[in-house]
């Protein structure tokens, strides 16, 4: 699958990808600035205190500023 880098699409473009993942219920592989990678389903994207956060099903929420890239996972098989 295609890796989508925040440097290439910008912060707003990355938020669009996260919001699309919420609607399609497709998990993402999320690469963080810390070097950690997590794979999870995004359940919401929220704004609090002037910052945007991705809310995940099984991981703690992450500031969009800490995400450097995402990769869409394959859609679930019927």
Q: Is the pLDDT score of 76 beyond 80?
A: no
Query: What are φ and ψ of residue 41, in 5° steps?
Result: -90, 130
- Which tokens sit at 57? 């099903």
The pLDDT of residue 73 is 77
d(CA 15, CA 45): 8
How far is Cα of residue 43 from the mean position of the Cα atoms in its chain?
Answer: 10
pLDDT mean over 3-32:
95
The pLDDT of residue 72 is 87
pLDDT in tens, 30-50: 999 999 999 999 999 999 999
Which residue, among 65, 66, 64, has the nearest Cα to 21 in the 3D structure?
A: 64
Phi-psi region of 49 (alpha: psi -120 to 50; beta: other; left: phi over 0): left
Say if pTM beats, i.e. exceeds, 0.85.
Answer: yes
Q: What number of helices (H) and strands (E) belong to the chain? A: 1, 7
Q: Is the pLDDT score of 22 beyond 60?
A: yes
Q: Domains of the chain (ranges plus CATH)?
A: 3-72 (2.30.30.100)
């Amino acid at each position: 699958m295609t890796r989508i880098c925040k440097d290439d699409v910008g912060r707003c473009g990355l938020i669009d990808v996260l919001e699309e993942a919420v609607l399609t219920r497709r998990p993402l592989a999320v690469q963080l600035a810390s070097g950690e990678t997590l794979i999870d389903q995004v359940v919401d994207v929220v704004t609090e205190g002037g910052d945007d956060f991705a809310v995940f099903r099984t991981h703690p929420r992450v500031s969009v500023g800490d995400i450097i890239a995402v990769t869409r996972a394959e859609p679930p098989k019927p």
